[in-house]
Amino acid sequence: MATGRTHRPATRSRGIPEATVARLPLYLRALTALSERSVPTVSSEELAAAAGVNSAKLRKDFSYLGSYGTRGVGYDVEYLVYQISRELGLTQDWPVVIVGIGNLGAALANYGGFASRGFRVAALIDADPALTGKPVAGIPVQHTDDLEKIIKDNGVSIGVIATPAGAAQQVCDRLVAAGVTSILNFAPTVLNVPDGVDVRKVDLSIELQILAFHEQRKAGEEAAAEGAVPAAATRPDSADQGPDGDVPAVMPA
């Protein structure tokens, strides 16, 4: 543990940039891997490589947390793991509910990453009475009717929405009314929430569309490198795909 400081930088955690916060979990994961291999210290260069960022960015990020490194040496792995965990609030237990136990909800319930690092699946909730009582990942599914009670009894402040798009806003409203203040949304919808509630979204089709944009650009550049064809589809298989509206349900809940 090397540097046994007392620390506590007074006006702590004030104004850590959002971009930095979003990278802390990445650093933490890389550090945890090092910790498991019993690596005692790591340089910004090495850690940055493991986390897939450049070292200047990493050092700047850490500078917002405090001076946790040793010049000429690097960072103490265990100490950093602890500091970042604390900064992220992972030294406490966060009960989480998952609403919508379809394919995706079940996958999330089974996801090992939940159990580790401070998160605990407190309950699974679904609107389908046929699912009520059935265990998924060892946890019996409860009915949506009891949502408010479940939230309150378990002191849940983080909710995961894995329902179809059509149900998401309604579920969201009920979660918020019951006291949830952070939501991870897997449904392909924009959620409206009051101030003070954080929403993060995970959207498969958005990610794919972003990739498609870059793919198209690559194809266009190849063509440009050869010559001609200024602004049209370049791939031979360019076809007009079926109609189909968007707003696809994630899965039946």
Looking at beta carbons only, is 76 or 126 nearer to DNA? Answer: 76
By the rule CB under 8 A, 132 interacts with its own copies: no
**Does 102 belong to an annotated binding site?**
yes
Cβ atoms of 155 and 129 within 8 Å: the answer is: no
The residues that touch DNA, with contacts defined as CB under 7 A, are 17-20, 43-45, 53-57, 59-60, 62-63, 67-75
**Does 104 belong to an annotated binding site?**
yes
Q: Binds 170, which of its own copies, DNA, none (CB < 5 to 8 A, cut-off by type)?
A: none
Q: Binds 205, which of DNA, its own copies, none (CB < 5 to 8 A, cut-off by type)?
A: its own copies
DSSP codes, 68-81: -EETTTEEEHHHHH
Looking at beta carbons only, is 42 or 125 nearer to DNA? Answer: 42
The two structure tokens encoding residue 102: 């379809």
Among positions 59, 60, 74, 184, the unique one binding its own copies when judged by CB under 8 A: 184
Min dist. Cβ of residue 79 to DNA (A): 11
By the rule CB under 8 A, 153 interacts with its own copies: no
Among positions 1, 4, 6, 52, the unique one binding its own copies when judged by CB under 8 A: 52
Min dist. Cβ of residue 213 to DNA (A): 13
Looking at beta carbons only, is 145 or 149 nearer to its own copies? Answer: 149
Indicate the helix (H) or strand (E) that contains 173.
helix 165-178
Min dist. Cβ of residue 176 to DNA (A): 22
Strand partners, 143: 126
Cβ atoms of 42 and 75 within 8 Å: the answer is: yes
Min dist. Cβ of residue 59 to its own copies (A): 18
Alpha-carbon torsion angle 83, 88, 94, 97, nearest 10: -150
DSSP state of 158: E
The two structure tokens encoding residue 239: 């076809």
- Region from 63-71, 72-80, 97-105, 123-131 binding its own copies, contact rule CB under 8 A: 97-105
Q: How far is residue 67's CA from residue 59's CA, in Å, rounded to a whole number?
A: 10
End-to-end CA separation in angstroms for the chain = 47
55-65 vs 77-88: helix crossing angle, rounded to 10: 60
Min dist. Cβ of residue 70 to its own copies (A): 23
C-alpha distances (whole Å) from 156 to each of 33, 86, 91, 175, 182 are 29, 20, 16, 9, 10
Annotated binding-site residue numbers: 100-105
Annotated binding-site residue numbers for NAD(+): 100-105
